Structure 1
Amino acid sequence: MKFWKLALASAAIAWLSSTVSLAAKTALVLGIVLEPPHLDPTAGAAAAIDEIVYANIFEGLTRIGPKGDVLPALAESWTKSDDGKVYTFKLHRDVKFHDGTSFGADDVKFSLDRARDGKSTNAQKGLFAAIDKVEIVDPLTVKVSLKQPSGDFLYNMGWGDAVIVAPESAELNKQTPIGTGPFRFDSWAKGSQIVIAKNPVYWGTPALLDKATFRVIPDPAAATAALLAGDVQAFPVFPSYETIPQFQADPRFKVVIGTTEGETVLGMNNKKPPFDNLKVRQAIAHAIDRKTLIDGAMFGLGTPIGSFFPPHHPSYVDLTSETNYDPQLAKKLLAEAGHADGFKTTLKLPPPTYARRGGEIIAAELREIGIEAEIIPVEWAQWLDQVFKNRDYDLTIVSHTEPNDLNIFARDDDYYFNYDNLAFKELVKQIDAVSDGSKRTELYKQAQKVLANDVPAAFLFQLPKTGIWDAKVEGLWENGPIQANDLTAVK
């Protein structure tokens, strides 16, 4: 009798163990550094929004894949007119939003017209500037006519800012997002975590996970402890660079160092004295030692950049020599600008490690040429409000992780750099209108040189994607071609 009890107990324990193991594979806890201000990617610039909802909750006509390629999404196919000005999208049928309403051509027209409307709060309205009109051909066919050919149009439609929303729920998406994706919104404990759950009636290939929890852990030491304790199974962008070797030596974890679209810059308010003076901006750029910055703030991870362009792009030009580290030249330029004795300024730093640690290093380097930069730490919501929205700042450090975003320097009327250069704006227009690869490359190179010479910001380094996760987890992206944690193939 005792033998059978023991056997039954052992069997029960084994069953329970396998059940727990199985359950563990259907749920995933991911660490994120920044909590998003809300969850509507069509109404905010914060990368933290897309890091949760892109491809998971919301979908666009197209989507950006893990290699940066344009893939079909809600549009199963499309055709382009010979003159490159008309795109006709054929939509997937039997697609429903998470609230049960049906998706169709009317939702596409609503979303694109809403995004490009003059009253739109979309942070990337430039993505839709080329659109002349959107027409419904039939319930599953949409025709989009452009004002002029746009080589980036299909790519632009894959951004998080271009996802398709429904008129019935669009105004509620900030707190209770409703999309068409493989996951639906479950809950949000402010300051702690956001939970998404598998969409049981998804139109496409179902997600392999039943649930994913995005846990907000801004502190690098806490991020390390959470991974080691198993409280978090994955940190797609791990913030504690100095502990990466520890995880590389631990067989329980997989460490993947990839690339991102994140150009990290020392932003300057170009319309605020003394930063409206080119020589002052040049002096600041020459005062920064990129190697010291990357070693000190990033523990050697990161690639120096001399303009606003990713080094992995085929059209990249290495222009770091244009603003090489030269403190004596920096002092000379300051004197020529009328600031031989330097000046006082402020440096607002958001929470990411690269900003807080990098800010300390840059402030020390600026002090060497006579510029006293008072460091002002701000939370992410404060940065978005004060710096990005209201342009209330002198200097700041941030990484721009949006893809193909050279054109932000052509947005003097609504972008925080306050940079205004007609020649650069013309180059951006030409780039957008050209689809020939060699011509675009030449224009991209010209645009990079304009920014390197005009120094609207001090270009620092390309942010690496420092991914660490449980060795058993599969399907997370190695690189970051877009600001996303696409969980559609994760198991």
Structure 2
Amino acid sequence: MAGVLRVGNDAGFGGAETMDPYDGNRTWPTINMVFDRLIGVDKDFSPIPELALSWSSNDDLTEWTLELREGVKFHDGSEFDADDVVYSINRMIDPEFDSPILAVLGVISSVTAVSKYEVSLSLSTGEADFPLLLADYRALMTPVDSQSTIGKNPIGTGPFKMETFDPAGTTVLLANEDYFFGQPKLSKIEIITFADSQSAAQALAGDQVDLLLAIDGKSSAMFGDEAKFTLQNIPSGDWNAIDFRVDQEPFSDARVRKALRIAADRQVIADTVLGVGGGVVACDTPVWSADPYRWDGDCAKDTEGAKALLAEAGYPNGIDIDIYTSDVEVHMVELVTAYKDQVKDAGIRVTIKMADASGFWDDVWMKESAFVDSWGQRPATQVLNEVYRSTASWNPTGQVDKDLDKMLDEARSTKDQAERAKKYAQIQERLFENSAIFLPYHKTLTRAMSSKVKGVEPIVIDAVRWEKISVS
């Protein structure tokens, strides 16, 4: 065991970061280095064992049983067992705590320890893809009664344990030599915070960090020296969007919302923001192209249609809107810039408002009337419930659509996959007609690292095995 990995990270929560994985200000991906899930995903995004060795359900998909791995220790030496699972899941689904993951796992009505290494979960409705929901990057297992200390002094079962937590500077993790999947190849990981994505890229170029999880693909030329750097291009379900709050005018009008979404050429935006070949067009669906539930609709630019909708809504001379953005992450400024250019011929006049990167997610996101957004890849059942369900705490537009909620419940509880796929396609069609989110593309991620770094598979970061990474 040797080597130190330096990972660049952003400062998007303005110092409010916490290691509590269920908190909205959770520190990602650090939480996934310290904690483990019950179920993980492989490179094909299929569920695989982590702390749970196996799982099964009843016929109507409302009762699930998980068999747990024995002999796993937390970093303080205490044993992981079913009581920790019950405690962790009860925190996730506690309506008073209102964790963002409640929108994902709120389908759980109760969790019971059947024995020391077996748990039973009862769901309020059938969920055919429940194992994938438990593979959420925040569905991590924490020790019983750890809520008061976990934010700054986390104790997990993961491959690395906390030495120093400094979200505004450098967080230091040490290898967990007793990790159940095997001793990590690294002795230490340092997570170094940067004010913006450009500063992080310059740090990698200057050998101040070893790994950036995502860079602007158009900046790849900075790291073209193969003797010094390794680049990975990874098709993904990651996406950016422009969100319009339906509780603020003029976005309460569905005609305005649709006009704002059909006035742009999505392929031009994807090519402009991501570079040619840097992404796949999306018709306002968060379900990515490799997901079996993906709906491939038609969403060509319709300038005249947008003008007609605006006129019908009372804006015959066009409309003026402000959109907030930030360079807290790559592509967020480029998206709104490209969108502004695309929609001007429909009479949509955009003023770009730049927000400080250090507090964007706390001070701007979900608060201003229109803003740029960024989401990581999630399976269909998760992302549709987490982003669009009326009661979801991370529903960024505040849109309430009870009919959509009912459609989501019907889709998730349908046992036959072909029928389930049809229902998810109908949901995505409804989003294109009624949503307040302009979602133009899914990204091909570009990851950059020093050539000294080995063992980082070209897969989404939630599936990366940190214990297998080394630095020569």
TM-score between the two structures when normalised by the length of structure 1: 0.86
Contact 1:297 1:353 in 2 (8 A): no
Structure 1: gaps of 5 or more residues: 1-21
Between the aligned residues of both structures, percent identity stands at 22
C-alpha deviation, 1:402, in angstroms: 4.5
SS of alignment partner, residue 171 of structure 1: coil
C-alpha deviation, 1:283, in angstroms: 1.5
Q: Distance in 2 between matches of 1:344 and 1:272?
A: 14
What is the aligned partner in structure 2 of residue 392 from structure 1? Answer: 367
* 1:401 aligned to which of 376, 391, 414: 376
C-alpha deviation, 1:380, in angstroms: 5.0
* 1:460 aligned to which of 440, 457, 468: 440
C-alpha deviation, 1:275, in angstroms: 0.9
Is the alpha carbon distance of 1:366 and 1:382 closer, same or farther for their aligned partners in structure 2, counting shifts above 3 Å? farther
Mapping 1:28-427, distance limit 5 Å: 28-34=5-11, 37-44=17-24, 49-54=27-32, 56-239=33-216, 241-248=217-224, 250-300=226-276, 301-308=278-285, 309-319=287-297, 321-322=298-299, 324-350=300-326, 351-379=328-356, 382-388=359-365, 391-404=366-379, 405-407=383-385, 408-412=387-391, 414=393, 415-427=395-407
Is the alpha carbon distance of 1:312 and 1:218 closer, same or farther for their aligned partners in structure 2, counting shifts above 3 Å? farther
Q: Distance in 1 between matches of 2:28 and 2:107?
A: 23
Is the alpha carbon distance of 1:45 and 1:259 closer, same or farther for their aligned partners in structure 2, counting shifts above 3 Å? farther
Q: Distance in 2 between matches of 1:79 and 1:386?
A: 42
SS of alignment partner, residue 353 of structure 1: coil
Q: Which has the larger radius of gyration?
A: 1
User: How far does the alpha carbon of each residue in 1:205-226 deviate from its partner, in whole angstroms, 9 at most, with x for none?
Assistant: 2211111112223544433332
Contact 1:399 1:463 in 2 (8 A): no
Is the alpha carbon distance of 1:413 and 1:465 closer, same or farther for their aligned partners in structure 2, counting shifts above 3 Å? closer
What is the aligned partner in structure 2 of residue 450 from structure 1? Answer: 430
Q: Distance in 1 between matches of 2:24 and 2:392?
A: 17
What letter corresponds to residue 403 of structure 1 in structure 2?
R
Higher helix share goes to which structure?
A: 1
Contact 1:45 1:123 in 2 (8 A): no
Q: Distance in 2 between matches of 1:125 and 1:215?
A: 29
C-alpha deviation, 1:249, in angstroms: 5.1
What is the aligned partner in structure 2 of residue 17 from structure 1? Answer: none
Is the alpha carbon distance of 1:129 and 1:225 closer, same or farther for their aligned partners in structure 2, counting shifts above 3 Å? closer
Is the alpha carbon distance of 1:218 and 1:484 closer, same or farther for their aligned partners in structure 2, counting shifts above 3 Å? farther
Aligned-CA RMSD value: 2.4
Q: Distance in 1 between matches of 2:46 and 2:83?
A: 27
SS of alignment partner, residue 352 of structure 1: coil
C-alpha deviation, 1:38, in angstroms: 2.0
Q: Distance in 2 between matches of 1:152 and 1:314?
A: 12
Once the two structures are overlaid, the 10-residue window that deviates more, 442-451 or 65-74, is 65-74
What letter corresponds to residue 412 of structure 2 in structure 1?
D
C-alpha deviation, 1:185, in angstroms: 1.3
Structure 2: gaps of 5 or more residues: none
C-alpha deviation, 1:123, in angstroms: 0.5
SS of alignment partner, residue 127 of structure 2: coil
What is the aligned partner in structure 2 of residue 473 from structure 1? Answer: 453
Q: Distance in 2 between matches of 1:208 and 1:442?
A: 45
Contact 1:35 1:191 in 2 (8 A): no
Q: How many residues align?
A: 459
User: How far does the alpha carbon of each residue in 1:279-305 deviate from its partner, in whole angstroms, 9 at most, with x for none?
Assistant: 211211122222332233222322111
C-alpha deviation, 1:377, in angstroms: 2.2
Contact 2:319 2:349 in 1 (8 A): yes
Q: Distance in 1 between matches of 2:214 and 2:239?
A: 15
What letter corresponds to residue 369 of structure 1 in structure 2?
A
